[in-house]
Amino acid sequence: MTTYRERREARAERLTEWADKRYAKADALREVTPDDMRHDWAFVSQPGHLPERSRMNARDERAYRHDLKASAMDAAARASRPN
């Protein structure tokens, strides 16, 4: 039978693992778009619909969401660790 402290520690470990996976997904999404394209001011500011720019923005949004969720998981892991 596990104690309350052991269950909390196990939960914190799971949350930390999940957060690490989310951070890795966010990094992978950001690496898809080459830096020369991301820093090309003409590409970024050109008016009209550019499919590649839309895909880049969508990937950035997903990466941002992964980072938010990972930060929340890290905070929950810190809060659930026994003192």
- In the chain, how many domains are there? 1
Tell me the whole-structure pTM to 2 decimals: 0.86
Q: For residue 32, give its domain range.
A: 4-80
CA pair distance 72, 25, nearest whole angstrom: 15
Give the tens place of pLDDT for each residue, 5-43: 999 999 999 999 999 999 999 999 999 999 999 899 999
Give the tens place of pLDDT for each residue, 16-25: 999 999 999 9
List C-alpha distances in Å: 74 to 17, 25, 40.
9, 15, 34
